[in-house]
Structure 1
Amino acid sequence: MPVSTMLLLVLAAVAAIVATQRMAEHTGLPAPALLTLIGIAYAVLPGPNVELDPDLVMTFVIPPLLYSAALDSSLLAIRRNVRTVISLSVLLVVATALLVGAGFALFVTGATLAAGVALGAAIAPPDPVAALAVGRKVGLPPRLLTLIQGEGLLNDATALTLLSVAVAAATGEGFSTRTALGEFVVAAAGGVAVGLLVAYGVRWARRWCQDPLSLNAVSLATPFVAYLIGEEAHVSGVLAVVVAGLAIGHDGPRTVSGASRLQVNAVWRLVDFLLEGMVFLLIGQQLPTVVRGLGGYDVSTVVVAAVLSVGVVLVLRPLWLVVTQLLPRPLRTGLGGDATDRLTAREVLVLSWAGTRGVITLAAIYTIPLVTDTGEPFPDRDLLLFCAFLVVLVTLVGQGMTFAPLVRLVGLRANAVDQARLRNEARSAAVRAALDRLAELESDEEAADEQQAIVTVRAQLEHRLDRYQQRLDLLEDADEIIPANPPYEAALRLHLSVIEAEREELLRLRDAGQLPDSGLRVLERELDHREVLLPPRGR
């Protein structure tokens, strides 16, 4: 494909991503599902198309997306819900793979158990991007967001390890339960070790280079370093990326300056936006390739395989969640969740519908080789590709489009008042700590020259503390809806108006030749930071 054509496709993809994001904001529909439909529409039109390269996706797309998601996760929250996360990301993935494999061996003509398990491993791990995007927008409770995010971070390593074992069995290397279990344990333990090692290296690098640009470069390189070391060590590179991201994200507030953190976060938001958009467009464009391979199969075989694959994915997840919540307390502690906090029926329903599949499923199924070690074609590879694509399409578009209405229907939302109260209590505690530090500095005889500054800063802090206390008093009697605060809203409007007036004056001075552009950028950056610090309503 000519370079100019590739550039045109990339620019068209960026335009589609931006337009779809705008459409999603106005309609409330999830952008991933809309982009997938756009990709399908483009795929059926004449013209150049892009086929999925699994090595390219696994090396250059999956690591940064997983790493960014891990940075945005809470290590402590995942640890509090670790049993439920493991139940979904390990045990449910294994159960899905085995059930699909058994179903293929029993009901699909000519299919083998190993080939079915390979498909099951590929379609088992949910991709939480669409569910999380909708969940955050509609205000899902933090615990459910943690479960969806934690499952999505850890299930890929389980699925890819299972897939490699199943492919080895199908290509003639044989299958041994003991060998498979040993490979999984080694891959998981090695991935965790590599991730922690990379996180330690990043901590050292942050102490050595503190400027924002260098830290950005280190941050962008980290997921690829973790993945490559993991793969070269023949352990789970995916798990190494996730563990490194969780550890680095947890340690970041202690080792990264504010300026660096603002820049790094902005860069990763852009990376996520573009990569996720490209991925979902790419998923839709695989339709012609997938359908083309079905010519050699009977309609009945395709229908049975499709119904079996989609059925297991849609039915097993809610069944698993229900059963694990009904287990006796000792068993549920080990399999289905934290013993002290069961999932409610509404939470089970929402979590069941959050199992959308995505690019990891297609990338995984495309890694299945064309031929076995004996030179024979891999059994039913084209049928497996179709079933995997169909599962992605049904869950991503079907569940993705209906997830927000379902959440609204069951009325499962985070308590906005509780969250606002928690934030303002934390703000008050932080200001009191700052006042205590000022008191220590004031008593220091060497700080005599700073007394006037201390008085000024104390007055500002006390004003902030009074404002937070007023906010807490207002929230004290609120139920689930944050009450309006006219003085607070008026203050926000005044601050924005003042900043806008300052910006207009700086532009007037620049246009009149009284302020160079370099000076304008410095002063404009100061105004931008002041504007960003203004909280939205209700915070």
Structure 2
Amino acid sequence: MIENFPFYLSLIVVILFLVMLANKIKVAYPVVLVLAGLGISFIPGVPILHIQPELLFIIFLPPLLYEAAWAISWKELWRWRRIIASFAFVVVFLTAMSVAFVANYFIPGFSLALGFLLGGIISPPDAVSAGAILKFVKVPKRFSSILEGESLLNDASSLIIFRFAMIAVATGQFIWYEATLNFGWMLIGGVGIGLLIAFIFMKAHKYLPTDSNIDIVLTLIAPYIMYMAAEEVHSSGVLAVVSGGLFLSYYRHHFLSSRSRIRGSSVWESLCFVLNGIVFLLIGLDLPEITEGLEGVSISAAIGYGVLITAVIIIARIISAYGAVIITLIARNFITVADSRHPGYRVPIVLGWSGMRGVVSLAAALSIPLHLDNGELFPQRNLILFITFVVILLTLLIQGLTLPFLIRKIHLNDPDQVVPEEETVILIRRQLAEKALEHLYTKYSEVLKEQPALQQLARKWEDNKQMTTDITMAEECKVVYIEILSEQRAWLINRNKEEATLNEEIIRNQLRYLDLEEERLRYI
């Protein structure tokens, strides 16, 4: 391991240059990284990487899921909960079932249990790939929210299918009532453990004498503790991390200081950037190990099976997307849905085409043991690994490269954006200024008469309806200003809760602006 350290270090540098190249040519960086890893793997003398599944599940997966849970909007997640849940659970199961029957029928030696095992591995789309692609095109907020929400939950559902299929392959039987009980415990136990540990961490942040460095370190270890605690009691570590991350994200302004939020955001953004880069490069680099173990079937036949399974999961997702629309149109006659308007053919086709596979599929495939409990070789393990690699590669290349073109060609409209975003930002800033002036005149009218700095602030808010530039302040003024910022922050959070269609990204940008204002007070 230590002798290859310079090689691993050089990979980080390669990742940085490849991501810059991807941004330059406007291609999603996961696509470039996978292709680059594939190319590097053919260079003579390059060490063959033996990726341990525990490395991906324990080291990479918890922080990536945790960061995604912090980034997503709980309001949007709840608003689109039905379609997100249907894609994260129902569509994943239908995809796995489709793969199971097709693999059982077309691939020699593939039992139905092995088919479900393969289906559980490749059924969850990868959020990082979709997010990287959506950077280059403008899509409605509801569309990105659905993709982000689905990606948070589908990893858990696919890994549950994978775990049950592993038991069926190993034992040769499937006891439905035991599976039902285990499924319930994985869901309830995972969510419960995640929320409990998140609550403990929240109290630690709030009541212990932490500073920004300690706060950041606590956020770094939280997802690992959630994941390992849940897995230790055989519940879902993925759901534990997701539920705990959503809980802490929702209450972040109640227990983290502005400095911790600002610095923590930068740390997490850099960390996940590196982790994602390493993972996608490793996917390409792992090809020699995968093909090396391919025995009993030719490379051309294995590629054909991979292409077939890729077509199945793409078609199944597109059909499911249109099915979700039909069900929503029927359900609106009986229950209140998030949006009862007909979305047309455009949204389902784009949603169905946004199904690139990635790190979770690779980690699940690699975690298949070499031998069964009775000592026999695990059936079709190497072929499952190869098919998984082909599916990841093809979905990243075919869907990843064509998705931006498809979105531009279709021209998705945003029905939630009644007012242009720029006007909404201006309005929010003006209302923030009004809120600040109201608090200042109501509570600090006497102090205002005695403090020129506060008077200048008031004049700027009155004249420009926006936040101020640098002003030298006395400590008493800083105390007042911080209190006003807290009032504005509380108003923004309440406004976000009260207005369902307001883009939360606008609110978050304004909250970050207030955090920066509060941080600026340390230096004036």
TM-score over 0.5 for the pair: yes
Counterpart of 2:426 in structure 1 is 424
Matched residue, 1:88? 87
* 1:280 CA drift (Å): 0.5
1:42 to 36, 40, 43: 40
Partners of 1:236 and 1:456 in 2: how far apart?
55
1:66 and 2:65 matched = yes
Q: What SS does the aligned partner of 1:433 have?
A: helix
Q: How does 1:384-463 map onto structure 2 within 5 Å? A: 384-412=384-412, 418-443=420-445, 447=447, 450-463=450-463
- Equivalent-residue separation in structure 2 for 1:336 and 1:136 (angstroms): 32
For normalisation by structure 2, the TM-score amounts to 0.84
Which one of 17, 20, 24 corresponds to residue 19 of structure 1? 17
Find the aligned partners of 2:184 and 2:238 in 1 and give their Cα distance: 14
Checking the alignment, whether the CA contact within 8 Å between 1:114 and 1:170 is kept in structure 2 is: yes
Distance 2:403 2:94 in 1: 24
Equivalences for residues 257-406 of structure 1 within 5 A:
257-297=257-297, 302=302, 305-327=305-327, 329-331=329-331, 338=338, 340-406=340-406
1:420-477 Cα distance to aligned partner (Å, 9 max, x none): 222222222222111111012234x6x4775434322211222341799xxxxxxxxx
Quickly say closer, same or farther: Cα 1:160–1:110, change in 2 above 3 A. same
Task: Give the secondary-structure state (helix, strand or coil) at the position aligned to 2:420.
Answer: helix
Contact kept, 8 Å, 2:49 with 2:289, in 1: the verdict is no
Q: Is 2:96 aligned against 1:77? A: no
Aligned to 1:152: 151
Q: CA offsets, 1:465-519, max 9 Å, x none?
A: 1799xxxxxxxxxxxxxxxxxxxxxxxxxxxxxxxxxxxxxxxxxxxxxxxxxxx
Query: In 1, distance between residues paired with 2:334 and 2:198?
Result: 29
Displacement of 1:205: 1.5
User: Which runs of no fewer than 5 residues in structure 2 stay unpaired?
Assistant: 469-518
Task: Return the offset for 1:329.
Answer: 3.7
Amino acid at match of 2:249: G
Query: Which structure has the bigger radius of gyration?
Result: 1
CA contact (8 A) 1:43 1:49 kept: yes
Q: Cα 1:128–1:320, aligned 2, differ >3 Å: closer, same or farther?
A: same
Matched, 1:29 2:31: no
Q: What residue is the counterpart of 1:135 in the other structure?
A: 134
Shift of 1:348: 1.4
Using the TM superposition, name which of 355-364 and 296-305 deviates more.
Answer: 296-305
Mean CA deviation greater in 427-436 or 340-349: 340-349
Counterpart of 2:439, as a letter, is R
Change in Cα spacing, 1:25 to 1:333, as seen in structure 2 (3 Å) is: farther
Alignment of 1:205-220 (within 5 A): 205-207=204-206, 208-220=208-220
Question: Is there any run of 5+ residues in structure 1 with no aligned partner, and where?
Answer: 469-524, 531-539
Contact 2:303 2:387 in 1 (8 A): no
Give the distance between the partners of 1:466 and 1:527, measured in 2 at CA.
17
Q: Which residue of 2 aligns with 1:509?
A: none
For 1:24, give the aligned amino acid: A
- Using the TM superposition, give the Cα deviation of residue 13 of structure 1 relative to its aligned residue in structure 2, in angstroms: 1.2
Relative to structure 1, the CA distance from residue 336 to residue 275 in structure 2 (aligned partners, 3 Å threshold; closer, same or farther) is farther
1:339 to 1:435, Cα distance in 2 relative to 1, 3 A: closer
Could you list the per-position Cα deviations for residues 126-182 of structure 1 after superposition, in whole angstroms to 9, with x for gaps in the alignment?
111121122133121111110111111110110111101000110116212332232
Question: Aligned-pair distance for 1:198?
Answer: 1.9
Kindly provide the CA deviation profile for residues 237-274 of structure 1, in whole angstroms up to 9, marking residues without a partner as x: 11111111111111112322221111000000100110
What SS does the aligned partner of 1:428 have?
A: helix
Distance in 1 between residues matched to 2:382 and 2:330, nearest whole Å: 44
Structure 1 pair 378–528 and aligned structure 2 pair: CA distance change class (3 A): farther
Q: Distance in 1 between matches of 2:291 and 2:336?
A: 38
TM-score (norm 1): 0.82
Conserved 8 A contact 1:84-1:337: no
Deviations along 1:159-216, whole A, 9 cap, x unmatched?
1111010001101162123322322221011111111112211211111234111111
Q: 2:65 corresponds to which letter in structure 1? A: L
- Equivalence for 1:500: none
Root mean square deviation, CA, Å: 2.6
Partner Cα distance (1:300, 1:288) in 2: 16
Deviation at residue 363 of structure 1 after TM alignment: 0.4
Please list the CA deviations of residues 1-55 of structure 1 after superposition, one character each: whole Å capped at 9, or x if unmatched: 4x1422x122211111111121122110111100001100011112212222101
Contact residue 433 and residue 467 of structure 2 kept, 8 A: no
**How far did residue 410 of structure 1 move?**
1.5
The CA distance in 2 between the partners of 1:209 and 1:183, in whole Å, is: 41
Structure-2 separation of matches of 1:385 and 1:335: 43
Q: How far apart in 2 are the matches of 1:416 and 1:337?
A: 19
Aligned-pair identity (%):
33
